[in-house]
Amino acid sequence: MSEVLRLSSAAWSLLHILLLFLFFYAPRYPKKKTFAYTCATMLPLVFLNLLLLVVWGQEFYGKCMLFLLVIPSFVFFILLAKHRDFRFVFTFCVVDTISAEIVILSLILNQYFTPDSNIVMFIIRILGFPLVEYFAVKKLRKPYFEIQDSVKKGWGLFSFVSVIFYVLILMMIAFPTNIINRPQDMPVVLVLMVLMPLMYLNIFRILSTQKKLYVVERERELWQIQSDQMQRQIRQMAEAEERVSTERHNLRHRLSGIDVMLQKGEVEEARNYIRSSLETMVTTTDEKYSKNAVLDAIFSYYFKMAEDRGIVVEHSLQVPDPLPVEDAELSVVIANALENAIHACGKLAPDVRFIKCRCIEHPQFMLQFSNSFDGKISLDEQGVPVNEEKDHGIGTRSIRAFCEKHNALMDYKIEDGIFALRIVIQK
């Protein structure tokens, strides 16, 4: 029974260390593909290590675990990692050292209370890992992913510290003999177990502070985007006003000409002149996309930009009046979506470039943008597209910030070379 509990505890620990790592791990591939690769590689590796643990015994296996499990796992996961840098090293060491705390604590307490039955070790691991995983998912997972995406610097030093702690723990557990055979060293190990969480707590505080600075910088960028868009809108409206003024001026001349023709009795000439003037006015009149002047200017500006670049534009727009949100904020979302679509189409041959823009008012206000693209796209942990090109990617963050602020629904669809963004603003 004692041996069964020992092996069950080891199997439970290995599987949950893997699970805990996946909670904090940012893969570069979709979830299903990552899961398939992980199961195909890591489950046989875990089974092999359990088998070696049975054959060699805990004493000898503990000294070989670094080469049999740790290094192969590190190599496998870094090949699948989104961040192949010190962010991955830090994550790997943090997860393993947190798991090591549960393992070490169970070994020490088991040695004092149930050394012959391994019951305490079994209970601590059965309860400890799920509790840590619950806390990790509820409190740490989301902010940690945000920190990884926003904080680019400082990971090297943090990784160096975490590696030192990791190696130190492995050595304390297994060398020169297993820790349960060295009761004189247990106080040192317990002190290390207290020191390590405090060290990680301070690192997370530093990273959180850096993330807050990043958020402030992002807000500044978003305000700059809004300012730029408003300036574009002002220029568009000024140009439209100039065209209206010009038409008003020309109309006076046309009416004067018609008046002269009628005074001379040149009725047919006057009618032909009126017909020609009407055709000219129709061809120079801008299409109206919305009753809202700000949105109308945005649609006009970007539709014309797309058409000038050889992109076929299709639109069906039912814009509610009044709008459920501020027109200045919504104009930034539309501008960013269309700008991203134009940028994506620019990478394709002219004959396959297209953008479709759809807006419906009922039952909910929905905007949908779809465009052709080259099929190359990266997604973050939440499945949101990310653009790592220089000077690009801010627009996507701006749209996400808008949706979070207004509790709007946002989803993406990528299929057959077509990228579609849908935003639903609930009433």
Residues 6 or more apart whose Cβ sits within 8 Å of residue 153 = 210
What number of CA atoms fall less than 13 Å from residue 113's CA on the CB side? 13
pLDDT digits (tens, 9 = 90+) for 376-387: 776 655 556 665
pLDDT digits (tens, 9 = 90+) for 44-63: 998 998 899 888 887 788 88
Residues counted in the chain: 427
What average pLDDT does the structure give for the chain? 83
Question: Dihedral of CA 317/322/324/325: which sign?
Answer: positive
pLDDT at 280: 64
CA distances from 49 to 9, 11, 13, 19, 52 (A): 13, 9, 12, 17, 5
Question: Using CB atoms within 10 A of its CB, is residue 141 exposed (0-12), middle (13-18) or buried (19+)?
Answer: middle
Structure tokens at 180: 């349960």
pLDDT digits (tens, 9 = 90+) for 307-360: 999 999 999 988 888 888 888 788 888 988 998 899 889 889 988 999 999 999
pLDDT digits (tens, 9 = 90+) for 315-328: 998 888 888 888 87
* pLDDT at residue 287 is higher than 90: no
More confident residue, 301 or 159: 159
* Top-confidence range, 57-61, 161-165, 269-273: 161-165
pLDDT digits (tens, 9 = 90+) for 27-47: 888 888 888 999 999 999 989
Q: CB–CB of 125/106 below 8 Å?
A: yes
CATH no., domain 287-427? 3.30.565.10
**Domain(s) of CATH 3.30.565.10: residues in the chain:** 287-427
pLDDT at 392: 47
Mean pLDDT of 192-219: 83
